[in-house]
């Protein structure tokens, strides 16, 4: 039986994914489904560059702003929610830069054990006490070899699995049963803009976030008194604006740190996507240009994407 088609639009931060997804959703009657881990959080519209209400009104959008910042999203949660939205869509358009989410659809997902609340709380307490780099040094060697010392969320996840089961997270991922790839004919468009275009784009976007009220948005989040280890509290720009809100650093220093941190992450994202095969090579289309807006998309890229989506390859 022929599988329904689904489209992935992936790439690094500030590469133009949302603009392209919106244009394609309007042209093909699609639904834009969020595949960015931070755009899931309700309180973070501005600082995560979620599509504005006027864009959401032009085409159906799903899984944007659906989780409170006090909760922790997961790959398994997102996969289940995405599949539910895909089933309702004429053409699902998965848009985002969280590669692990996209791989969970196209390549399947290991079924990991349920972690008791006590193990989760102990892992978060150790993270808060030791900090990510010192916590990294205490992990099972298999997990330590795979995880960056700065990736506090995944460090805590690895520790809580080990505390709950006595096995490394890596061993569970290797040996656990897997959910199969989603039953769709996936096509992927990967935006790979030149790095010299990305850095100015990040600076420009940060300025727009400032003007739109990013500091007030993060200040409201700070006033909730949430655990600093929660994913929403570590979204790009949030720690820096939170420090500014508390009077610990100047606005200029917050800008400098946030832009530098986003740029470092964006380079890692671009490298990851270059070396990953989300789908078969014949189902992947790469665009080596930044899509600055819908006019540029329509004039320069529309014909080749239209042909790619209509092809049977």
Beta-sheet pairing, 31-34 with 61-62: parallel
Distance, in Å, from the CA atom of 9 to the CA atom of 285, rounded to the nearest integer, reads 10
Distance, in Å, from the CA atom of 65 to the CA atom of 44, rounded to the nearest integer, reads 7
Is 165 part of any known ligand binding site?
A: no
**251: its two tokens:** 């606005």
Query: Residue 225: is it exposed, middle or buried by C-beta count within 10 angstroms (0-12/13-18/19+)?
Result: exposed
Q: What does the H/E/C string look like for 90-146?
A: CCEEEECCCHHHHHHHHCCEECCCCCCHHHHHHHHHHHHHHCHHHHHHHCCHHHHHH
Any bridge partners for residue 109, and if so which?
Answer: 179
Is 14 part of any known ligand binding site?
A: yes
Query: Residue 24: is it exposed, middle or buried by C-beta count within 10 angstroms (0-12/13-18/19+)?
Result: buried
Q: Hey, CA dihedral for 115, 119, 120, 123, is it positive or negative?
A: negative
Q: How many residues does the chain have?
A: 313
Is 11 part of any known ligand binding site?
A: yes
Any bridge partners for residue 31, and if so which?
Answer: 92
Is 17 part of any known ligand binding site?
A: yes
Is 302 part of any known ligand binding site?
A: no
Is 110 part of any known ligand binding site?
A: no
DSSP codes of every residue in 252-277:
HHHHHHHHHHHHHHHHHHHHHHHH--
191 in Cβ contact with 291 (< 8 Å)? yes
Annotated binding site for substrate: 13-18
Annotated binding site: 11-18
Annotated binding site for ATP: 11-18
């Amino acid at each position: 039986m022929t599988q329904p088609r689904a489209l992935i639009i992936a790439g690094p931060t500030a590469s133009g994914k949302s603009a392209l997804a919106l244009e394609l959703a309007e042209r093909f009657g699609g639904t834009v489904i969020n595949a960015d881990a931070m755009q899931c959080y309700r309180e973070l519209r501005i600082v995560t560059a979620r599509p504005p209400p006027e864009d959401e009104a032009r085409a159906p959008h799903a899984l944007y702003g659906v989780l409170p910042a006090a909760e922790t999203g997961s790959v398994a949660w997102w996969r289940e929610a995405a599949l539910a939205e895909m089933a309702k869509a004429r053409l699902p358009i998965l848009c985002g830069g969280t590669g692990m989410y996209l791989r969970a659809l196209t390549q399947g997902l290991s079924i990991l054990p349920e972690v008791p609340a006590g193990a989760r709380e102990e892992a978060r307490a150790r993270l808060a006490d030791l900090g990510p780099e010192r916590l990294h040094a205490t992990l099972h060697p298999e997990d330590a070899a795979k995880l960056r010392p700065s990736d506090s969320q995944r460090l805590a996840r690895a520790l809580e699995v080990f505390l709950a089961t006595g096995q490394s997270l890596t061993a569970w991922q290797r040996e656990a049963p897997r959910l199969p790839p989603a039953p769709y004919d996936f096509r992927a468009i990967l935006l790979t803009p030149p790095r010299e275009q990305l850095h100015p784009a990040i600076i420009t976007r940060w300025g727009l976030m400032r003007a739109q009220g990013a500091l007030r948005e993060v200040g409201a989040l700070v006033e909730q008194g949430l655990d600093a280890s929660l994913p929403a509290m570590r979204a790009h720009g949030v720690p820096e604006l939170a420090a500014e809100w508390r009077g610990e650093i100047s606005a200029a220093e917050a800008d400098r740190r946030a832009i530098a941190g986003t740029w470092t992450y964006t380079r890692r994202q671009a490298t990851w996507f270059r070396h990953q095969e989300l789908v078969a090579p014949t189902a992947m289309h790469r665009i080596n240009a930044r899509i600055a807006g819908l006019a540029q998309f329509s004039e320069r890229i529309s014909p080749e994407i239209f042909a790619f989506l209509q092809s049977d390859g």
